[in-house]
Structure 1
């Protein structure tokens, strides 16, 4: 359960940090948006160090699936655009892949 919470927290932090840059460059938001964006990205990187796995690359690969799902939630909740069936199907495949990477039997 701790790993899931870390991944969700990291995804929120990364998406919020990246959105701050998006807002500044693409939406005309003020430059001060960059400061909380940078802090959020630092928090994202810090949180991923708490994933319970023996290899950073495996933690990052698994995180990719979580990030995709969180991005689609952001699309819906923050940008008011409902994910379509292809978004949901693709995210489901990514979550399955993430689960195989994280919990697959290792010999």
Structure 2
């Protein structure tokens, strides 16, 4: 399942329209990957994220929001 997710993570962005803002597409997928990693670790692997994990995820997801929604030009 992990290998399939990794393959999809690499293939799906290439299916975006030619004029799509590619950096924003990758930021969105990165954010999804971070959130799903924490959920997977918590509920499948039974590893509770600690404070530093959550701070790191928050920093990364803040970066995703900046990339996605900061006004351009």
Same fold (TM over 0.5): yes
Deviation at 1:66, TM superposition (A): 2.6
Distance 1:57 1:42 in 2: 19
RMSD in angstroms over aligned alpha carbons? Answer: 2.5
Work out which of the residue numbers 62, 70, 76 in structure 1 matches 2:28. 62
Unaligned runs of 5+ in 2: none
Which structure is larger by alpha-carbon Rg, 1 or 2? 1
The runs of at least 4 aligned residues of structure 1 exceeding 6 Å deviation read: none
Bigger RCO of structures 1 and 2 (CA < 8 A, at least 6 apart)? 2
* TM-score normalised per structure 2: 0.72
* TM-score normalised per structure 1: 0.52
Unaligned runs of 5+ in 1: 1-15, 19-36
